[in-house]
Each structure stands twice: as structure tokens, then as C-alpha cells.
Chain A
Amino acid sequence: GQNIDQPTEMTATEGAIVQINCTYQTSGFNGLFWYQQHAGEAPTFLSYNVLDGLEEKGRFSSFLSRSKGYSYLLLKELQMKDSASYLCAVMDSNYQLIWGAGTKLIIKP
């Protein structure tokens, strides 16, 4: 079966760096997405990786290793507003999105 694994919950301190990991086993691979979802709000697109390596977008970076079935989302200079759930999703060979259960990130002052 197809599976996406990510930690259920993480805690980090304001101003610090946190890395949220995502591992996947899917039927084929056509890209990996990260979305952010604040409580009671819509998920919003953060990043898309289809080739190996690091994609940087301001304070957020996303890394992909296709050979290891692994990605991470790196958040730097954490702010209280970064408290949210982070959803990892992989597009399989049929261009279907397979979703992880999300990682709830709690930022403490």
C-alpha cells in the first residue's frame, strides 16, 4: 500500500530552527508538496519538490531525496505565527495525491 509518515506533533522555541520530516512509500513519484494549515483555516501551499535537493523560500526550505523516499521542511527564525499543522503529500504515478496525517507544530516563547 501507499504510505506517508510524518511526526504527529513537534515543539520548538521562538527564534529557533525546526525540521519536520516526511518519509513515503508510493507507487511512483511525480512530486512532493508541503502545505501549512492553521487551526480552523484552509491548508495553504508552501512548496513543491520534484528533483532532489533543497528549495529555499525565505525562512522556509524543503528538501527531497527520491532514492531515500524522504523529504523535510526546514523552518528558520521561528515565529509564533508558525504554530500550525504541516501536511506532506506525494503525487504518485497516476497523479493522485497521497497525504500524510500532518505534523502539529507548537512554538513556545
Chain B
Amino acid sequence: ETGVTQTPRHLVMGMTNKKSLKCEQHLGHNAMYWYKQSAKKPLELMFVYSLEERVENNSVPSRFSPECPNSSHLFLHLHTLQPEDSALYLCASSQKRTGANVLTFGAGSRLTVL
């Protein structure tokens, strides 16, 4: 496989469920990102991992918990979510450096919270 792969592509969960989103990159990049994409809104950066260390956490509620076990894998653990958390969750990777830090995105996980 090449690029950035996200699973599952679609997820429906109740507010009391616990689920996880998975992301895998096969590009040899050293940084991975979680973004939230809601309709007609700018992409919201949630977390950044660089060399497996979390370097950013943009005031995301604790019901979202990231995990980066190695440079190729990234998880987003979800628990006790709210309906307003329904959105497309995009994973991305890059070779983090100054200048043209081009992101390669996965196709996203469409989350619906009932």
C-alpha cells in the first residue's frame, strides 16, 4: 500500500461508546496529524506528532485521545463523544521542515455520533 490509509472509512457510534480511528502512512514521513473537517468550515488541527512525540494539542476535549506508537501509525481514541463531534476526521503526514511542508492526507473517517 502507498500513501496514507485510514480505517474505518465510516463509523456510527452512540455517545457512550468507545471506538478508535486508525491511520497508517507508507511514505517515510516524520510527522503525522489529525484534523477535523466540518461542512463549510476550515480544517481544524487537532494533534501533531513529530518523531512520535506529540508537539501540538490544540485545546481538543479530553474525549479525544491520540496515540502514536511509531512513525508510521497514528490512532485517535474516542469516548463519550457528543453529537457535535460528528465530522470527517482526516489524518495527514509530512516530512516536517520549514518552508514547503506539504501534507499528504488520507481519505478520512466519516464519524456520526448519535
Q: Which residues of A are at the interface with B, using a C-beta cutoff of 8 A?
A: 4, 8, 30-31, 33, 35, 40-45, 48, 50, 87, 89, 91, 95-102
- In the complex, the answer to whether A30 meets B98 with C-beta atoms within 8 Å is yes
- Nearest-CB residue, chain A, relative to B42: A99
Residue numbers in B under 8 Å from A98 (CB-CB): 42
- In the complex, the answer to whether A45 meets B102 with C-beta atoms within 8 Å is yes
Contact check: which of B40, B43, B105 meets A42 at CB < 8 Å? Answer: B105
Q: Please, how many angstroms separate the alpha-carbon atoms of A102 and B43 in the complex? A: 9
Q: Please, how many angstroms separate the alpha-carbon atoms of A92 and B95 in the complex? A: 18
Interface residues on B, range: 10 to 19
Q: Which 6 A-B pairs have CB atoms at the shortest separation, nearest pair first?
A: A99-B42, A42-B105, A99-B43, A42-B107, A48-B100, A43-B105
- How many residue-residue contacts, CB under 8 A, span A and B? 48
Interface residues of B in 48-104 (CB under 8 A from A): 90, 98-104
- In the complex, the answer to whether A31 meets B42 with C-beta atoms within 8 Å is no
CB distance from A47 to the nearest CB of B (A): 10
